[in-house]
Amino acid sequence: MEVAERHAEKKSIALIEAYKKEEKVVYREIEKKKAEQTHERINFDPFEEKLKAKIHELNRGLMDIEIKLQQALTDSRNAFFRHVQ
């Protein structure tokens, strides 16, 4: 069970770090737009949508990991109870 927990933790950390990298890219793009700005208003909607999509992707990935970890826990408990009986 500990192996499954460690594996899940590593995968979660990797997903979060990948999101943070993508977030930094989007923020750099925003800063670039601000620097290039003359007197036109910047449309931040595409950036917002991009980040929302990445957040949704991160949530799905983390939920998948959590479900697999819960399944491993259930399997481990069931194996233990079968062994005890």
Counting the structural domains of the chain, the total is 1
Q: What is the pTM of this model?
A: 0.79
* pLDDT in the model for residue 58: 97
Residues spanned by the domain of 22: 2-84
* pLDDT in the model for residue 55: 97
Distance CA 24, CA 8 (A): 24
Helices (H), the chain: 2-36, 45-84
* pLDDT in the model for residue 24: 97
User: What tens digit of pLDDT does each residue of 16-41 get?
Assistant: 999 999 999 999 999 998 888 777 88
Select from 4, 24, 2, 3 the least CA-distant residue to 69: 4
Judge contact between 12 and 77, C-beta under 8 A.
no
* pLDDT in the model for residue 41: 86
User: What tens digit of pLDDT does each residue of 38-79 get?
Assistant: 778 889 999 999 999 999 999 999 999 999 999 988 998 999
Distance CA 4, CA 73 (A): 9
Average pLDDT, the chain: 92
